Structure 1
């Protein structure tokens, strides 16, 4: 396996571990174990647990940006925001990246992690705003709904394997009625 392939393997293990336990509770030796490498190798690749966490967050944010960019490019006759919304629904079926994203928001109080997480969220906002061609209020509603759905999917009350919850069904029905 090449160093690049090993790095990818470690990053995938990190996304999974950080999604389960968050930044503070995840240990680099657990990530190394999942990746099948030594803990010193993980540090040699990424420099520190913090850099590895930020790389994992970056990977998830890059993926969201790619999903939105591809959806807007392929929108055809639909509004770009509608196409991006539909594309994000597919992403919502994957709990691991969603949970990592929520852990990133929770870790944003850290003086080194916060600026990076805020920057990445800002980049996603700008991308949606630019690709969607919508006013700020509509972009805000899009992000608000996306965050609500992210939390609901993380709670497992929305998505393909949803655990029934009356309140969640009510929200999802309302979103469907209003074309979201």
Structure 2
């Protein structure tokens, strides 16, 4: 049996945490479940990460970084409508192939809102920084147009919500989400 380094073990914890938190959320996921999924003891888990919050924030950061990378890679060398379609198609593929990424995003937003409602202002700082990196990666290929970036991100969040609620492909709720001629005219400004 090959022994993993601490960095490799941390990586396996982050992957396991993403899956567990995606299903159960911050409060509904135990560190015991994460440790069990990785195949380590809870005390070892806490040698790798100082707290459950640190594990969650590492998983959340990975989730945002993966999403940011998806958009960045999809839009390389593209601008405007081409970039928009490439990023939207890449994200659609990620949602279909890695649903835990989408669910981790949604759980992250819920966890931040809950923590801040309880007075933990620091919990959201990392998440907001990740969101701003995501915003910037989308913003530039869309011509640094605030309206186009806002629209893209708003549609993305709507897609996240609809997928999270389990609306299947082909359901009538999706009809209004496909690019239309009016969007095309605005992006070609």
For residues 141 and 77 of structure 1, the distance between their equivalents in structure 2, rounded to whole angstroms, comes to: 13
Name the Cα RMSD after superposition: 2.1
How many correspondences in the alignment? 172
- SS at structure 1 position matched to 2:40: coil
CA gap 1:107/1:79 in 2 versus in 1, 3 angstroms: same
1:97 pairs with 2:101: yes
CA gap 1:77/1:127 in 2 versus in 1, 3 angstroms: closer
Whether the 8 Å contact between 2:78 and 2:141 is mirrored in structure 1 is no
Structure 1 unaligned regions, length at least 5: none
Structure 2 unaligned regions, length at least 5: 184-189
Whether the 8 Å contact between 1:17 and 1:26 is mirrored in structure 2 is yes
Alignment of 1:27-176 (within 5 A): 27-73=30-76, 75=78, 79-93=82-96, 94-109=98-113, 110=115, 111=120, 112-159=122-169, 169-176=171-178
TM-score by length of 2: 0.83
TM-superposed deviation, 1:132:
2.3
Whether the 8 Å contact between 1:108 and 1:118 is mirrored in structure 2 is no
